[in-house]
């Protein structure tokens, strides 16, 4: 098995030699949590469909385990029921909560704005804004 698979996180393996996308890394981190965490921040943005998320970023989870393995950042927070949605069966913060978390945690400012822009372009919030003056959607 060691010649065919490599560990991503403890107990989570992928075929050897492949690079994970930000969304795949987020799913692997969620699997590490035994499907108990809520994917948050840039990882949630990736699962919500945002493009160009840096694959070198740590996966972000809201989870009560204070000792995550390298490559996972864990936040211990309380979420309201309407702040959680599902993407392919994975618990993810809703687009508004995701934007809130990115805005307060991401650095530097330019990267934060780019990430928020990618999130808005990917989520269902964007069609509601189509008739707004000065907004160009692609």
Rounded to an integer, what distance in angstroms lies between the CA atom of residue 82 and that of residue 97? 9
Contact assessment for residue 37 and residue 110, using Cβ atoms and an 8 Å cutoff: no
Calculate the dihedral angle through the C-alpha atoms of 67, 29, 34, 70, rounding to the nearest 10 degrees: -30
Regions in the chain scoring below 50 on pLDDT: 126
Residue 126: predicted pLDDT? 47
pLDDT given at position 136: 59
Nearest 10 degrees: Cα torsion 104, 110, 115, 119? 90
Backbone angles phi, psi at 29, to 5 degrees: -65, -40
At residue 131, the pLDDT reads 56
* pLDDT per residue as tens digits for the range 44-64: 999 999 998 999 999 999 999
The domain ranges of the chain are 21-127
* pLDDT score for 105: 87
């Amino acid at each position: 098995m060691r010649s065919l698979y490599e560990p991503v996180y403890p107990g989570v393996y992928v075929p050897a030699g492949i690079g994970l996308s930000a969304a795949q890394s987020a799913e692997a981190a969620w699997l590490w949590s035994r499907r108990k965490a809520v994917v948050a921040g840039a990882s949630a943005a990736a699962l919500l469909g945002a493009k160009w998320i840096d694959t070198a970023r740590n996966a972000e989870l809201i989870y009560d385990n204070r000792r995550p393995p390298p490559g996972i950042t864990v936040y211990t927070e309380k979420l309201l029921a309407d702040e959680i949605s599902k993407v392919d069966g994975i618990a993810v913060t809703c687009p508004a909560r995701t934007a809130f978390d990115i805005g307060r945690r991401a650095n530097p400012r330019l990267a934060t704005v780019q990430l928020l822009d990618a999130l808005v372009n990917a989520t269902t919030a964007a069609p509601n804004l189509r008739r707004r003056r000065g907004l160009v959607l692609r």
